[in-house]
Amino acid sequence: MTDNVYVPVTATVEKVTLEAGGARPIRTFRFRIDDEKEWPKFHHKPGQFAIISHFGTGESVFAITSYPNSEGIIEVSVMRVGNVTAKLHELEVGDKVGIRGPYGNDFPVDDWKGKNMIFIGAGIGISPVRSVYQWVLNEENRKDFGDVTLIYGARTPSDLAYKEEIKELEARDDLDLWLCIDWKFGPNGPTGESAEDGWPAINMQSPGETEVPDGQNRFTCFVPQLVEVVKPDPKDAIVVTCGPPIAIKYITEALDRLGWQPEQIYTTLENRMKCGIGKCGRCNIGELYICKHGPVFTSAEICKMVPEF
């Protein structure tokens, strides 16, 4: 094949999973790169991204969610929001796509050995977080980490992705799982209505004082409030979080109130991208290009950035 950085390699759709339905459906695609000689180049690390082509429509950028491998497998979760993602959602097993990457920096997972891990995902932001919790929960690596907590929220129950996986995670005894839906309080929900069965409301004024009945792990609230309900302990711990910019902002503030240092909080940022390699211009926040200097940053690094995201 070619060394031309703009020419994608061809891959075949091996599996399509509908993760969430409704108005903003999410599908996870497992692609396998056709040319075996290309496989080593696509040995990605948690946090990196790939650029997927629907030939004839164009390219879009996605966080890679697959476990690092040398078998040419790349998995991405795609929310249907635009032209390319709509076409990707029509793909069936056996169809062809193009892939460029992996690009960007990665989560320093090796530095985190021995730590307690807290994962916080809001909306489709769960997808890059998933690449890390899958790494940590993998049987090869699980022994290297302490307690693992996953906090995840979406707008409505049907917007929650990875439903099958969530069932499996809930059954594990080496993982603390918390979920929330915000539709009662979201722009589409009748604010203040009594909570639906199984998703009790929390004390929105002082989330930290919410009484948590034994075994209750799902609530109606926004993710930052759920963080205050769960109260993750900052001692010897790392947070990996991702979500819309506004969610990251409030999650970080909640963690700050719980005594977390910005150096302990890792996130991955997204901006519109075209080239993925620092040439096309648009993904910068100040002098930092998300595609080259990121997408993984600590909260401490984000605090130093110019307010442009």
Partner 1 sequence: MAKIINKKDIGTLLERLNDYEIYGPLEQDGVMSYGKLDIEPLLEFRNSRKPPKDYFFPQTEKLFDLKREGPRFTGAEEAELPDDKFLLFGTRPCDARAMSALDKLFTWDYVDPYFVKRRENGTIISFCCVPPTMPGPNCFCTSVGGSPCSEEGSDMLWSDIGDSFFVEAVTEKGEAILSAGGDVFKDASSDDQNVADLTKKQAKEAISREIELTGLPEALEATFTNEYWEEMADRCLGCGICTLLCPTCHCFDMNDVVKDGKGWRERTWDSCQYPYYTIHASGHNPRPVKQHRQRNRLYHKFLYMDRNLDVVGCVGCGRCITQCPVNIDIIEVASDIKEVAKECGDGAACNAEEAA
Spatial neighbors of 143 by CB under 8 A, at least 6 apart, are none
Please tell me whether residue 70 binds partner 1 under the rule CB under 8 A: no
The alpha helices in 40-193, defined as continuous H runs, are: 83-88, 126-137, 163-171
Q: Assign 45 to helix, strand or coil.
A: coil
**Is beta strand 49-54 parallel, antiparallel or unpaired with respect to 9-20?**
unpaired
Please tell me whether residue 127 binds partner 1 under the rule CB under 8 A: no
- Is the Cα torsion angle 170, 295, 84, 3 positive or negative in sign? negative
Please tell me whether residue 22 binds partner 1 under the rule CB under 8 A: no
Please tell me whether residue 2 binds partner 1 under the rule CB under 8 A: yes
Cβ of residue 284: shortest distance to partner 1, in angstroms? 7
Measured CA angle at 65 (ends 37, 98), to 5 deg = 45
Please tell me whether residue 187 binds partner 1 under the rule CB under 8 A: no
Can you tell me which of 21, 22, 58, 146 binds partner 1, judged by CB under 8 A? 58
Please tell me whether residue 6 binds partner 1 under the rule CB under 8 A: yes
Please tell me whether residue 272 binds partner 1 under the rule CB under 8 A: yes
Please tell me whether residue 146 binds partner 1 under the rule CB under 8 A: no
Can you tell me which of 244, 253, 256, 263 binds partner 1, judged by CB under 8 A? 244
Cβ of residue 34: shortest distance to partner 1, in angstroms? 8
Spatial neighbors of 21 by CB under 8 A, at least 6 apart, are 158
Can you tell me which of 14, 21, 43, 55 binds partner 1, judged by CB under 8 A? 55
Instruction: Give the closest residue to 77 by CA, choosing from 101, 102, 110, 50.
Output: 50
Measured from the CB atom, is 59 or 117 closer to partner 1? 59
Q: Give me the 195-214 binding string for partner 1, x by CB under 8 A, dash otherwise.
A: --------------------
Task: Tell me: cis bond preceding 295? Omega within 30 of 0 counts.
Answer: yes
* Rounded CA separation 172/33 (Å): 32
Residues that bind partner 1 (CB under 8 A): 2-8, 10, 53, 55-60, 81-82, 85, 95-96, 98, 244-245, 249, 270-272, 274-275, 277-282, 284-287, 289, 292, 306-309
